Amino acid sequence: MRKHALIRNTVLLLLCITGLGLGSCKKEITQVVDQGFSATYSVKSSDWKGDGSGKYYHADFNVPELDDIIQKNGGVNVYISFDNGVTFEAVPEVVGNVAYGAYHQTGLVGVDLSPADNTGTVTPPSGTLLVKIVLLDATPLD
């Protein structure tokens, strides 16, 4: 009987020690939160710069938040509003036979326009357009 009691007590003691040991473990979760940032810019008719041919115009925006990390791993989305912000259209977009596009590099985002069918010339919009630039920070997939 003594042998069974000793084994039982030893097993119970080991179970208690194991339970205490496992109960004191702390699980830590590190969560990486990627961010999205946006800004809206006004583009007046005088802001459009042409190449002299009448076929290509562009407007550039200094965006210092567009750093090397976002340029390499994130994304840049550009939207244009022709109705003072009631609606925004994602570029590239064709409106009235004018093709609107976007380009970006570290610190700079630009919007350009040219004839949609690559013939003839275009005239920059006479009114003020709103351009929304959305920067998306992201973690690269491994």
**DSSP assignment string, 25-90:** -----------EEEEEEEE-GGG-EE-SSSS-EEEEEE-TT--HHHHHHSEEEEEEESSTTS--EE
Which tokens belong to 67? 């750093």
Q: What is the pTM of this model?
A: 0.75
The SS3 call for residue 129 is strand
The one-digit pLDDT tens for each residue of the chain (142 residues) are 566 666 666 655 566 666 556 556 677 777 766 689 999 999 999 999 999 999 999 999 999 999 999 999 999 999 999 999 999 999 999 998 999 999 999 999 999 999 999 888 999 999 999 999 999 998 888 7
Closest by CA position to 110, among listed 68, 75, 62: 62
